Structure 1
Amino acid sequence: MGTAAPIRLRGPTVSPREQFSLLLPVYGRDDAALLRESFHSTVSAQTRPPAQVVLVRDGPIPEALRRCVDELAATSAVPVARVDLTRHRGLGVALDAGLAASDHDIVARMDADDVAVPHRFARQVPLVEAGADLVGSAMLEFEGDPTRVVGLRTALVDEDRIARRARFHDPFNHPTVVYRRSAVLDAGGYGDFPLMEDYRLFARMIANGARSTNLAEPLVYYRVDTGAYARRGGFALLRRELQLQREFRRHRFTNRAQFLRNVLVRCGYRLVPERARRASYRRIIA
């Protein structure tokens, strides 16, 4: 893919105000109290709330979580479309099912245990209305509750730099993105690619010509736990990483030198001890 031209966003008098859907997946390990907090922060607490919530249940969930989902769907001031997958299919399949149930072309992502700032969509959605296909933001990592911030994940703003970075790292923080559903579908959707479905999708969107940008402002509080860095290593993720890098090379998203660099650095990262992984994550992978 060649170097992308800067995004020229249309002015607010030209671009109409569009409605959008919120895509929120839930699975068996989610916590009811955290889901309730996440739902509130992205629906009733937003200065520009979604017109629809698509709540995807990815397989069986515990009774407490089921009651929470029922309560949110019944009491929400915003219509809730429920998608119930009878068995756990994984995040990519769940998100594709949710996209199919979305009423609007603009779709915002959120995870069931994170917290959005009140003006998140007021800042991001106008950029999609004005011509972007994919808009993310920086996010703050926290432990326990959002007042205990432990880190900041920055985000590149310039489209050219985003396209270059995508050859080596995911240039978007997945829980922060708002995108055009049509651009996602044109790139083939998420697909069944566990552990790396978001990076794979965003790279394919960029290769497909989608216009992308980020906001440097942190708009999401991202929950981290003691197992966060352990999950980023191991042989299962190593195999998935190799599969992704081969796919990038096969489709000429990366050249030979970039492929070799990624195999050495990104695959090597999956095998180092967790302590080293924690120390180097933002510099090497994030």
Structure 2
Amino acid sequence: MKYSVLLSVYHRENPLFLEHSLRSIERQTLPPEEIVLVKDGPLTKELDAVIEKHMNTSSSPYTIVSLEKNQGLGIALNRGIKHCSYEWVARMDTDDIALPDRFEKQFAYLSEHPDTDIVGGWICEFDSNHEICNKERRVPASHEAIVRFAKHRNPLNHMTVVFRKEAVLDAGGYLPMNGFEDYYLWMRMLQKGKRFANIPEVLVKARTGRDMIARRQGWKYAKDELALEKVAYQTGFWSALDRVRNLFTRFLPRLLPVAIVEKLYNLLRKI
């Protein structure tokens, strides 16, 4: 199967992390036919230098989509999807590292399960040294288990997914939902009857750590959480009971100290 890889980068990202991410894509055992990279607003000269280097050396051609100003992840990815030439699109984040056979495994699965519209996998989380993984985020494998899981938590690791382009567009694509653009999309795709799956293996090494947890705390992020919960309830994806339960398990923890949330975060990774 031919496929595109879709990424979005903005000016605050680390050039070294971008270098590692792009290198991991280009060195896949099943390389992509194209890499679509959205510049979400003007970048630093260091980030631009990394991109130019890879454009000149990669065997997979790059398509660069430049936005005049920073629009946010949802808008950036929607713009990028329009430039993807193939039926299948693989997502990747610009600070993570794909395992060398990630795409080979995913497209082998899709060949064996042609009714699947989107397939993800597990991630291994690291702080600074990608050779040392602290924990894994495991998500359910079967469609039915994913549907149940999605009532409470994000059922896919966004940076691991490969999706059918038309299936995403049929659900409206990525829509503004600050911090939760991916989760909101999965909800709408499930309501449209799209088929989901996860490969029960680590496919991507994801950069997390204490800074990531801190960014997801505080009143601002809690308000974003409330916005998601409101839409999930209004659209019928969550029941009234789901909304009440998630108020305690998702919204209120956003207001707790980082040290406490870090312990809860580690505990959830074991469930």
Q: Same fold (TM over 0.5)?
A: yes
Distance 1:282 1:201 in 2: 26
TM-score by length of 1: 0.90
SS at match of 1:21: strand
2:210 aligned counterpart, secondary structure: coil
The one-letter code matched in structure 1 to 2:223 is R
Q: Which residue of 1 aligns with 2:162?
A: 178
1:36 aligned onto 2:36: no
Deviation >3 Å, runs of 4+: 282-286
1:19 aligns with 2:2: yes
Query: What is the Cα-based RMSD across aligned positions, in Å?
Result: 1.5
Which runs of 5 or more residues in structure 1 are unaligned? 1-17
Shift of 1:126: 3.0
Number of residue pairs the alignment of both structures matches = 268
Per-residue CA deviations over 1:216-267 (Å, capped at 9, x if unaligned) read 1101000124311111111111111111111111111111111111112211
User: Aligned ranges for residues 1-286 of structure 1 at < 5 Å?
Assistant: 18-43=1-26, 45-129=27-111, 130-281=114-265
In structure 1, C-alpha distance between the alignment counterparts of 2:264 and 2:171, rounded to whole Å: 31
Offset, 1:284: 5.5
- The DSSP-based 3-state class of the residue aligned with 1:222 is strand
**1:40/1:198 CA distance change after superposition, 3 Å:** same
Q: Secondary structure at the match of 1:149?
A: coil
Identity of aligned residues (%): 35
SS where residue 171 of structure 1 aligns? coil
The 1-side partners of 2:209 and 2:152 are apart by 26
Whether the aligned pair in 1 keeps the contact of 2:156 and 2:198 (CA below 8 Å) is yes
Q: Distance in 2 between matches of 1:233 and 1:170?
A: 17
TM-score (norm. length: structure 2): 0.95
Structure 2 unaligned spans of 5+: none
SS of aligned partner of 1:96 = helix
- Which region of structure 1 is more displaced relative to structure 2, 194-203 or 275-284? 275-284
Deviation at 1:205, TM superposition (A): 0.9
